[in-house]
Structure 1
Amino acid sequence: MKVTLQDDILLICYDDLPPYKKGGSVVRNSYFWALKSISCYTPRGKDWEYDRDVWVALSRMLLSFAESGYLGDREITLEFPEDTPIPPELRSVATWL
């Protein structure tokens, strides 16, 4: 998932967010709701925002979904621009584009 950092707010690119589908996969819908539940702002049709207070929880959640084996690496890995340092709290689930 492509991400950016702005003033200690992590933004996950809207196009990379998991979609919620009524009657869809339980794992994917659970992933959607888990990401939404710890976000500080989830505007419809825009990037979701995560403040620094939840980065450890976000990292643990992404690792947990990765270990399940149901989601691909691109769906659970945070992809930072090359010129952005990866915060220590997110290093276990992040890479550069």
Structure 2
Amino acid sequence: MRVYFKDEILCIHAEDLPSYKKGGSVVRNSYFWALKSISCYARRGVDWEFDPPVWVALSRMLLSFAESGYLGDSETILEFPIDTQIPDVLRSVSTWL
């Protein structure tokens, strides 16, 4: 998932967010609701925002869903612009574009 910082807030591009589908995969829908529940701003069609206090939870959640084997790396790895310093707490679930 492509991400960037806006001030001290981590933002995930709207195009890369999981989608909720009524009657869809339980894992994907759970992933959608889990991400949405820890975001500080999550509206349809816009980038979702995550403030620093939830970054530990975000990291653990991404690792957990990645290890489940149901979701691919593109859905559980945070992809930062090459010129961005990745915070230590997010390093285990991140890479550069």
Q: TM-score, normalization: structure 2?
A: 0.98
Aligned counterparts of 2:45 and 2:70: Cα–Cα separation in 1 = 25
Q: Alignment partner of 2:10: what SS?
A: strand
Superposed, which structure 2 residues align to 1:1-97 within 5 Å?
A: 1-97=1-97
Aligned counterparts of 2:24 and 2:43: Cα–Cα separation in 1 = 22
Identical-pair percentage: 75
Q: TM-score, normalization: structure 1?
A: 0.98
Q: Which amino acid aligns with 1:42?
A: A
Q: Alignment partner of 1:85: what SS?
A: coil
Give 5+ residue unaligned stretches, structure 1: none
Aligned counterparts of 1:95 and 1:5: Cα–Cα separation in 2 = 14
Give 5+ residue unaligned stretches, structure 2: none
CA RMSD of aligned residues (A): 0.5
Question: How far off is 1:6 after superposition?
Answer: 1.4
Question: How far off is 1:53 after superposition?
Answer: 0.4
Aligned counterparts of 2:91 and 2:41: Cα–Cα separation in 1 = 22
